[in-house]
Homo-oligomer: A and B are copies of this chain.
Amino acid sequence: MAVNLHIPAETDIHPVPGIEIGVTEAGVRKANRRDLTVFRLAPGSSVAGVFTQNRFRAAPVQLCERHLQAGQGIRALVINTGNANAGTGEQGLAAAQATCVALARELDVAPEQVLPFSTGVILEQLPVDRITAALPAAIAGLGTGNWFSAAHGIMTTDTLPKVHSVRVRIGGHEITITGISKGAGMIRPNMATMLGFLGTDAGIAQPLLDRLVRELADQSFNRITVDGDTSTNDSFIVIASGQSGLRIDSADDAHYAELRDALAQASRELAQKIVRDAEGATKFITVHVEEAATTDEALQVAYSVAHSPLVKTAFYASDPNLGRILCAIGYAGIDDLDTAKLRLWLDDVLVARDGGRNPDYREEDGQRVMQQPEITVRIALGRGDVSDTVYTCDFSHEYVSINADYRS
């Protein structure tokens, strides 16, 4: 039951010159399921990524970081669903390495030029033989037109594929930006319980892309939460193939801001799609905190509201139980918060001020907003001029059903 999740028509999903994709069935966990995706990147592509901060970072995440640091130029990605290869110790690391070695041999590149990604069940060993056996089929299918198929191929508990594609003119060049993401539960990226792959045929110098990918993540995947559970496998990758002719080497370039904004917009779309398709979600909630003294405290308050099971069940019930929001603001950990200065809105309805209910607030106004599929909670702290935004969803019976049944 995704919330306003837009799926573009296949004709609106633009191939990115320099990026080929192949998808096949490896039978990682279940048969008859397209669970293996391979990306082949043109020589000279810049690739950068950000990864989960969970201490149990999965084997493929550890390997991604190593291979990016090796600096030999990334030429391929391999992504499996069904098994996260996390909490698998040395054996798991060896399995991820074996996957890279096998794909490198097939594509005639070095193993350090391959980035591996896994998503699925934690604590079980990766069936590496089944994956390597399926690589030739994935490679045989490589083509630039397979983004939609890849969006399907990386799904786990997702109900819908997540893909976003735009074309923009920058500096006289037509630039394509196309990306996919997956994730529906264990989502509180930091960086991020999910997989996100964003490709462009703009050229971006490696040091600049290394910086940009963090900026993009902080405006998108690092601002969403479903259940507060930061996964072991979160990865967000930006690929700049450079095939368009536009090449940007420095942040001072006249066209950098345009390209950055276009990529940021695409990143936000992909991140929000994860929330729209969150496990059991029936509402898409934007929590916007303003007048904070620092970004940290704005996010502290936003996440406190976005994670409260009581707030989330009230959204599910379309119940303007505003006390629960105030309560979550109150325990967010800002010790010197002056509750008399705080104001709270549901969309455009001012519901609380001066430490209590707004005297002009009418329950039917709150009720009207709560019934919408998309709701903005706006909180003004009266402490400074910093603002930030977090995206989340409600908490439904369906979430419990999905997570009580996931493994069985």
Residues on the B chain within 8 Å of A314, using CB: 403-404
Identical chains in the assembly: 2
Q: Which of A326-356 contact B (CB under 8 A)?
A: 326-332, 334-335, 337, 339-340, 352, 354-356
Q: Which of A111-119, A171-179, A229-237, A253-261 contacts B (4 or more CB under 8 A)?
A: A229-237
Residues on the B chain within 8 Å of A54, using CB: 327, 330-331
Residues on the B chain within 8 Å of A310, using CB: 185-186, 227, 229, 403
With A and B bound together, what is the CA distance between A398 and B54 in angstroms? 30
* Other-chain residue from B90, B396, B407 in contact with A400 (beta carbon distance below 8 A): B396
Contacting pair B327 A407 (CB below 8 A): no
Q: Which of A161-185 contact B (CB under 8 A)?
A: 185
Say yes or no: is A122 at the interface (Cβ < 8 Å to chain B): yes
CB distance from A167 to the nearest CB of B (A): 38
Contacting pair A322 B123 (CB below 8 A): yes
Contacting pair A56 B327 (CB below 8 A): yes
Contacting pair A339 B55 (CB below 8 A): yes
CB distance from A88 to the nearest CB of B (A): 5
Complex interface bits, A89-107 against B, C-beta within 8 A gives 1, otherwise 0: 1111000000000000000
Say yes or no: is A139 at the interface (Cβ < 8 Å to chain B): no
Say yes or no: is A86 at the interface (Cβ < 8 Å to chain B): yes
Residues on the B chain within 8 Å of A326, using CB: 56, 86-87, 122-123, 232
Contacting pair A88 B356 (CB below 8 A): yes
Residues on the B chain within 8 Å of A232, using CB: 323, 326-327, 330
CB distance from A147 to the nearest CB of B (A): 29
Say yes or no: is A372 at the interface (Cβ < 8 Å to chain B): no
With A and B bound together, what is the CA distance between A321 and B407 in angstroms? 8
CB distance from A397 to the nearest CB of B (A): 5
Q: Which residue of B lies closest to A357 (CB)?
A: B123
Say yes or no: is A132 at the interface (Cβ < 8 Å to chain B): no
CB distance from A281 to the nearest CB of B (A): 13
Known A-B contacts A321-B406, A330-B55, A405-B317; A355 and B89 likewise in contact (beta carbons under 8 Å) = yes
CB distance from A303 to the nearest CB of B (A): 11
Say yes or no: is A242 at the interface (Cβ < 8 Å to chain B): no
With A and B bound together, what is the CA distance between A94 and B321 in angstroms? 23
Say yes or no: is A401 at the interface (Cβ < 8 Å to chain B): yes
Known A-B contacts A54-B331, A310-B185, A321-B407; A91 and B356 likewise in contact (beta carbons under 8 Å) = yes
Say yes or no: is A319 at the interface (Cβ < 8 Å to chain B): yes
Say yes or no: is A373 at the interface (Cβ < 8 Å to chain B): no
Residues on the B chain within 8 Å of A319, using CB: 404, 406-408
Q: Which residue of B lies closest to A313 (CB)?
A: B403
Residues on the B chain within 8 Å of A87, using CB: 322-323, 326-327, 352, 355-357
Residues on the B chain within 8 Å of A91, using CB: 356
CB distance from A306 to the nearest CB of B (A): 12
Residues on the B chain within 8 Å of A324, using CB: 122, 186, 229
With A and B bound together, what is the CA distance between A185 and B313 in angstroms? 12
Residues on the B chain within 8 Å of A401, using CB: 397
CB distance from A252 to the nearest CB of B (A): 34
Q: Given known contacts A56-B327, A229-B308, A309-B309, what 9 new A-B pairs fall within 8 Å (CB)?
A: A55-B334, A56-B326, A56-B355, A122-B327, A230-B327, A232-B323, A319-B406, A397-B400, A397-B401
Provide 15 A-B residue pairs closer than 8 Å at the C-beta atoms, listed in order of the A residue.
Answer: A53-B331, A55-B329, A87-B322, A87-B352, A123-B322, A123-B352, A227-B309, A229-B327, A229-B328, A232-B323, A309-B395, A309-B399, A317-B403, A395-B400, A399-B400
| Across the A-B interface, the 8 shortest Cβ-Cβ residue pairs | A122-B323, A89-B356, A56-B330, A317-B404, A313-B403, A230-B331, A123-B323, A54-B330
